[in-house]
Amino acid sequence: EDKVVQSPLSLVVHEGDTVTLNCSYEVTNFRSLLWYKQEKKAPTFLFMLTSSGIEKKSGRLSSILDKKELFSILNITATQTGDSAIYLCAVAPPWTGTASKLTFGTGTRLQVTL
């Protein structure tokens, strides 16, 4: 059974801190890893990582994948209260050209306080 584990489960930081969220996986067929941000309702897409060692960056957020050690990290620098959300990690099997059946982790709940 495919498994995606995120840590920590929850985290409280002060505005301006830097945080690192972890995602490890055990899957039979791996193609890509995705990060989503869920603020209140609908998760929104952040990054997709397919190649090991190549950092993806968007503003204060960055992520990297290690396919040898089977994990990914999501870094957020200079955190703001608007970063408070649940961060979800998901893995995707090899592409078949049809539906993408993702396996999600439990998520990390991040709270940024003033």
Partner 1 sequence: DGGITQSPKYLFRKEGQNVTLSCEQNLNHDAMYWYRQDPGQGLRLIYYSQIVNDFQKGDIAEGYSVSREKKESFPLTVTSAQKNPTAFYLCASSKTGGLSYEQYFGPGTRLTVT
- Give me the residues that bind partner 1 (CB under 8 A), please: 4, 6, 9, 31-32, 34, 41-45, 48, 88, 90, 92, 95, 97-102, 104-107
Cβ atoms 4, 91 nearer than 8 A: yes
DSSP 54: P
**Bridge partners of residue 79, in order along the sequence:** none
Nearest approach in angstroms of CB 36 to partner 1 is 8
Tokens 């099997």 belong to residue: 93
Between 59 and 97, name the residue whose CB sits nearer to partner 1: 97
Nearest approach in angstroms of CB 32 to partner 1 is 6
Residue 91 buriedness (CB in 10 A; 0-12 / 13-18 / 19+): buried
Between 68 and 96, name the residue whose CB sits nearer to partner 1: 96
Nearest approach in angstroms of CB 89 to partner 1 is 8
Q: How far is Cα of residue 62 from the mean position of the Cα atoms in its chain?
A: 10
Nearest approach in angstroms of CB 16 to partner 1 is 28
Q: Could you give the angle at the alpha carbon of 21 between the alpha carbons of 88 and 66, nearest 5°?
A: 90
Between 91 and 112, name the residue whose CB sits nearer to partner 1: 91
